[in-house]
Amino acid sequence: MTLYSDLIRERFRHPRYRGALAQPDCTFEDVNPLCGDRIRIECRLADGKIADARFAGDSCAIAAASADVLIEMMIGQPAERAHELQAANLLERLEADIRPSRMKCLTLPLSVLQGALDGKEVAR
Amino acid sequence: MTLGALARQDFPILRRMVNGHALVYLDSAASSQKPASVIDAIRRYYEWSHANVHRSIHTLGEEATELYEASRDAVRAFVGARAREEIVFTRGTTEGVNLVAQALGRTLAAGDEILVTEMEHHSNLIPWQMLCRDRGTVLKAVPIVEGAYLDMTAFDRLLSSRTRIVAVTHVSNVLGTINPLAEIARKAHAVGATLVVDGAQAAPHVPVDLPATGADFYVFSGHKMLGPTGIGVLFGRKEALERLEPAWGGGEMIKEVWIDHAQWNDLPWRFEPGTPPIAEAVGLFAAVEYLGKLGMDRVHAHEQALTARCLDALARIPGVTVYGPRNAELKGAVVAFNVDGLHPHDGAALLDQQGIAVRAGHHCAQPLMKRLGIAGTLRASFSVYNTEDEVERLAEAVARLGDGL
């Protein structure tokens, strides 16, 4: 049974950026309305750049792997860069082709990161 | 031959291959497949008898009206309602709940209470939340116990003379739990509350005798019971419907109209403004006839056997957690479960690769998911056309799911 790209499976099984930061400068979390998955991303900022970040949450392999490579791509980058990233960038990084029904799983971490950087409030 | 093996020959879509495997369709709780008789009835209607209903003085209009109203009679008989006036056609369960919420809502005042449960589908929750937001009524929710059943002690405590509406599902779309409607109806009526029941997961699967449930209003969908999408049924006890002002206005729901006011039509048309889903009603007619021929007692026994087998097979697989009652006799034809370390969406995608269609996610029951402390589940659900072999294929595939990621 091979369903996802090797990279999705690898980053889901062995994430590099799953966890929490001691003193994050910004945090946001949101749900995927499709499945109820919740992803939380915390960032530490320095000189307008993302100095460090971590993600947490109960999610499918696609969302977890996407969050993991997203953070990897963004560390050391100017915060604005998060608003330039597209789903295609994440797909390329994951060497994956994803069915339309699962695209929200891929893009949830991106919108959560953008929400964190924009100082969005978490809905309760 | 078992019912499932016999019935599945009537469903053209079940001959399909999916991802190189014979389709195993275990998502009927979301939407069932359709027998050829339903598909043919809709086709025949459009090819031979279509026109608008009720107002057309020509042959086609009369035929369409006759079919539409005959469907109402067939549905009435199917659910044991006493009068055809009690059967209102809607677009589905969701519209039925919204209709009742809006119409009943006009009779409520700030401070009046609406009692729902933690196991409601969003369709039997959000309309009541919206009503509370608009009218200042208060929403209360009956919790669940043992991860499966309504807490009837809490129900007794939450129910009071302030409770005006009790809204509850007959059968949970996740847990499968069959709720004690007769007890709920007796208690609700004792405080003068109106009982609204979501029957979407019951009507397709168990013999429903609506007057015996005690529900004042009972809603269900055509597409979950072998009929087409876009049609549903709102049953209302005649006395309850008569007290209700129409929720929506338009053609057909009136008797006479002046420029500044109107006189409402008789039941049930008072609640059916606009051109109704005629072809869908014709399809539902065929679906009800099909189920009637099989016999709902047999349908229920067949699905219960599949549910029992599924519960049993999944319980043997290490790392599988099943939600809801473990006894098939206490539940409808759904089995929600999770596999350790595997997200439901990943599980469903892996199963799909083997041609097995199950639901994954929160099943439009997020408060229940929050109560269970999970983001979602996998869910297998059964209908007349499923077989024990298919349950075995599911179990074998679930047992191997851990290797997939």
Give B325-341 pLDDT, tens digit per residue.
999 999 999 999 999 98
B168 DSSP β-pair partners: B197
Question: Is residue B310 among the annotated active site residues?
Answer: no
CATH of the domain at A112: 3.90.1010.10
Q: Which residues contact B10 (CB under 8 A, 6 or more apart)?
A: B35, B36, B37, B290, B385
- Calculate the alpha carbon distances from A27 to A109, A119, B54, B103, B185 in Å: 12, 8, 59, 43, 47
Q: What is the value of ipTM here, to two decimals?
A: 0.82
Q: Taking the model in full, what pTM does it have?
A: 0.93
- The verdict on residue A108 lying in a domain is yes
Q: Report all structural domains of chain B as residue ranges with CATH numbers, in order of start.
A: 3-30+296-403 (3.90.1150.10), 40-292 (3.40.640.10)
Contact yes or no for B353 and A3 at CB 8 A: yes
Q: How many domains does chain A have?
A: 1
pLDDT tens, residue order, chain A (124 aa): 467 889 999 999 999 999 999 999 999 999 887 777 889 999 999 999 999 999 999 889 999 999 999 999 999 999 999 999 999 999 999 999 888 888 999 999 999 999 999 988 887 7
- The verdict on residue A123 lying in a domain is no
Q: Which residues of A touch B400 (CB under 8 A)?
A: 1
Pick B350's closest partner by Cβ from A3, A58, A102. A3
Chain A interface disruption, residue of B345, B350, B352, most A CBs within 10 A: B345
C-alpha–C-alpha distance, residues B184 and B87, integer Å: 22
Check: CB of residue B216 under 8 Å from CB of residue B20. no
> What is the residue range of A96's domain?
6-117
Q: Which residues of A touch B373 (CB under 8 A)?
A: none
- The verdict on residue A122 lying in a domain is no
Q: Given pLDDT bands bounded at 50, 70 and 90, which one contains residue B405?
A: confident
Q: Is B403 on the interface with A (CB under 8 A)?
A: yes
Q: Which residues contact B71 (CB under 8 A, 6 or more apart)?
A: B89, B281, B282, B284, B285, B288
C-alpha–C-alpha distance, residues B151 and B149, integer Å: 6
Q: Is A55 on the interface with B (CB under 8 A)?
A: no
Contact yes or no for A3 and B346 at CB 8 A: yes
- Answer yes or no: is pLDDT of B58 > 90: yes
